[in-house]
Amino acid sequence: MRLTALVTALLVAGATLVAAPVQAAAPAPPTAGPALAATPPMGFNNWNAFGCEVSETLIKETADVLVSSGLRDLGYEYVNIDDCWSLRERGPDGRLVPDPDKFPGGIDGVADYVHAKGLKLGIYGDAGTRTCAGYPGSLGHEEIDARTWAGWGVDYLKYDNCNNQSDGSQEDYIRRYTAMRDALARTGRPIVYSICEWGTSQPWTWAEGVGQLWRTTGDISDDWSSVRSIIRQNAPLAPYAGPGHWNDPDMLEIGNGGMTATEYRTHMSMWAMMAAPLIIGTDLRAASAETLEILGNREIIAVDQDRLGVQGAVVSDENGLMVLDKPLAGGDRAIALYNSTDTLATVGVAAADTGLRRAGAYRLRDLWTGRTLQARSTISAAVPAHGTVVYRVSPLRGPGDVPPSVVAGAALGTVVPADGGTLTTAVTNRGAGDVRDVKVTVRTPEGWTATATGPSGSARLRTDAALETAWRIGVPATAAAGRHPIEITAAYRWGRRSAGTSSEIVAVVVTAPGDGRRHLSTVAPVSTVNATGPVEADQSNGGPLEDDGNLITIGGRVYQRGLGTTTGSEISYYLGGRCSRLVTDVGVDDEAAAGAPATFTVHADARTAATSGPMTSGQAPATLTADLTGADWLRLTAESGAAAVHADWASPVLTCGDVPDDSPVLPVSRTLFSFETGTDGFTIANPGDGGTVARSPLFHTHGTSGLKVSTPVAGNWFGRPLDEPLDLTGTSMLRFDVRAGEVGTVGEIAIQVGEDMSWCQGGRWGWIGPHSSRTVTERFDQIACPLGVTLDLADVRAVWVFLNTGGDVHIDDVRAE
């Protein structure tokens, strides 16, 4: 049985965001030789693609590919080993010992190999008692570890923050990270020092002079919402970066398969614009041509590695569209037009609002397509959803032979089968000089139609003039819900030449929900507007980031399901006349301070179907029942005058089609343990560690009580072997609700299967802040079993939840869905 959690004791007491006054770190001891990381470090690290599966073979083979693919010569220099390279205990001499199975030739052997290829070697350590994966940490062992690494020929250290014994103060962070800086300096070997404390103590305010780079966020993952959220956090930190001191938004996921090529190009573009370290995190031995092309774009790399070393500044950031401006040596500027929204958008900036020198026109070199265009005074492009256009811009004397920048933008409302939708196209000439004989065409999917309701051509467009056209989009009644591309092409002449430009907009076909009663939080809205960050599903609105709320709580009552908004919010659903009723609780979330009241209204098309009247904070929830018969659209609004109030739709259930009132609410959830009468047999997996488990009425999301757990050690598994094997076939995930006490916690899930009780464990864990609550979810396809064991859902023998506790933590309703 494997009882170590990957996250054992991540973050101890109070290691949360520190807003302490800025502390000056002691100056670095003087070093000789060239400055370290004069430009952002580039290289490879095994963590994102391989986790703990690191080995000498992997590192050597990666070094080989860095050379053979040409990536080394493009600047990718460091080959970095992440966590799990050592044995679980130090040697008798107190030194870290490389795992001989993984590194039979030792780390020095790998270093020699890598150095012989003209590359450098990186290693991983931790400013705590153990690394994040439970290997020996360097806290209190700084001198000997720095000497060991330097002796092996290591050139780069990533220094992590798990099990840090910290009181959470910024002074403590500075102390722990400066101790290793000084130890590295005393070795006399130049070693790039990469601080990895996830932005916890705001290292950008103190780490210049301590490390050459510092992580600014939590761990990246291979999905779009992760990249989008990291950009949002890292972009405003531009003033803190410069040569030898870089913001690190974490390593690249390009090539790992969880994002589209457009999204990976945005990842690469924005990291370059933010002068971020470019540390490849994919299996280079198996990388596709497309992956190598993205990672190997030399003009984008040149933006990242520009010797001025300035992180691109945010010029504008509105409605999910961001413009970054980065000065480059020699006077050019890199301008990025980033569209984080889910649809095509025209993103632009006036040259006068950037650092560009005044000029009659500008040359725009598109660093992804390689095309060069000229613009008079506005730098703009139609950027696909999740895409980024990066232009290298320089002043241009006369437009001469350079083709004009003509932008084919479009906007499209929701598209409904049979009813269709409305498309607006806008073709804008941003070039110096006229374009003539402009003709717009729209190509729809098979069986659809596009009919212009006004002129779709123009004899002449002057600089900055636009041709706008509205189109009726006809959609067959049989069109499937989902995303369908529509192509917009503008053909035109400039000078004597013919040219054209096209953009793709994705039509989202919506259909009404199927028959049944279902939690509204599992139905995709067509549109949402919210005052603070996104509307959250099954949690309160929290703050500006995604997934940053608590379990919805109104007047002390905690809900598993619902929608968390901040007033000024509006959520729309397409019903197609197929639904009859919405029943929901509403109220102001307990996390909100007392303030202005909020009013909740359910709209069925133009009709008010139910309204709450003003609700104040602390007040018990009200129940609304709305008749939706015949309505095409359902809209939920929460208003509170000028104030922003956390307004919750708690447990809203939508009924569609002809179904009995008592039919089960979808998705069906099966409670396994709800702690109504006792502990349900829950125990602590390692009883030797001590701790308690007791039924408690203080927190419950099901029934009237939950379970209070505590353990004196940093983390433990709570749960039980079962008397009878459990059959969970037909369900896809396990979940439980948790509320942390004085200090935060993390939650994770494991199950044991089969006669030999094989231990299968999830890899997803999330930090739960002090006094905050959430649902921990583990999908079965995210649970890993030991080699050779398959996850037999029909034969579950034990269920465990991991909690990293300091003080009491409450849990409830362990369930399968």
Q: Which residues bind ligand GLA (CB under 6 A)?
A: 47, 82-83, 131-133, 160, 196, 198, 219
* Residue number of the CB atom closest to ligand GLA: 132
Catalytic hit among 99, 108, 112, 219? 219
**Cβ 180 to ligand GLA shortest distance, Å:** 15
Q: Whose Cβ is closer to ligand GLA: residue 216's or residue 521's?
A: 216
What is the bridge-based pairing of β-strands 313-318 and 278-280?
Answer: unpaired
Least distance (Å) between residue 739 CB and ligand GLA: 24
Q: How far is CA 777 from the centre of its chain?
A: 17
Integer CA distances (angstroms), 552 to 164, 299, 332, 555, 623, in order = 32, 48, 50, 10, 15
Give whole-number Cα distances, 780 to 160, 532, 747, 764, 816, in Å: 29, 33, 16, 11, 10
- 221 or 343: CB nearest ligand GLA: 221
Q: How far is CA 561 from CA 112, 429, 627, in A?
A: 56, 49, 21
Alpha helices in 235-364, H assignment, sequence order: 261-273, 289-295, 298-304
Residue at 233: amino acid letter: Q
Least distance to ligand GLA from the beta carbon of 162, Å? Answer: 6
- Shorter beta-carbon distance to ligand GLA: residue 657 or 766: 766
* Short-list 162, 154, 99, CA closest to 715: 162
Q: Is the separation of the CB atoms in 101 and 52 below 8 Å?
A: no
Residue type, 351: A
Nearer to ligand GLA, 365 or 764 (CB): 764
Q: Please tell me the distance from the alpha carbon of residue 11 to that of residue 265, in angstroms, as a whole number.
A: 33
**Shortest distance, position 10 Cβ to ligand GLA, whole Å:** 8
| Catalytically annotated residue among 160, 250, 538, 737 | 160
Identify whether 219 is a catalytic site residue: yes
Q: At what angle do helices 142-152 and 170-187 cross, to 10 degrees?
A: 40
User: In the complex, what is the shortest distance from the CB of residue 200 to ligand GLA, in angstroms, rounded to a whole number?
Assistant: 11
Q: Tell me if 232 sits within 8 A of 271, measured CB to CB.
A: no
> What is the rounded CA–CA span in Å between residue 779 and residue 247?
33
Length, in residues, of the chain:
817
Whether 795 is a known active-site residue: answer: no
Shorter beta-carbon distance to ligand GLA: residue 597 or 744: 744
Supply the minimum distance, in Å, between the C-beta of residue 801 and ligand GLA: 20
Nearer to ligand GLA, 5 or 638 (CB): 5
- The number of C-alpha atoms within 13 Å of 171 and in the hemisphere containing its C-beta is 2
Nearest approach in angstroms of CB 562 to ligand GLA is 31
Distances (CA, A) of 375 to 197, 348, 394, 407: 43, 11, 10, 11
Partnered with residue 737 across adjacent β-strands are 775, 812
CB of 41 to ligand GLA, least distance (A): 15
**Whether the Cβ atoms of residue 705 and residue 697 lie closer than 8 Å to each other:** yes
- Quote the strand ranges of 495-619, DSSP E: 497-509, 516-519, 527-529, 536-537, 552-554, 557-559, 562-566, 569-574, 579-588, 598-604, 607-615
- Is the CB of 47 or the CB of 802 nearer to ligand GLA? 47
The full 3-state SS of 43-72, as one line of letters, equals: EEECHHHHCCCCCHHHHHHHHHHHHHCCCH
Q: Which is nearer to ligand GLA, 99 or 219 (CB)?
A: 219
Q: How far is the CB of 198 from ligand GLA (least distance, A)?
A: 6
Q: How far, in Å, CA of 220 to CA of 229, rounded?
A: 9
Q: Which is nearer to ligand GLA, 132 or 749 (CB)?
A: 132
Q: d(Cα 647, Cα 540) in Å, to the nearest integer?
A: 8
C-alpha closest to that of 516 among 670, 659, 634, 651: 659
Positions marked active-site: 160, 219
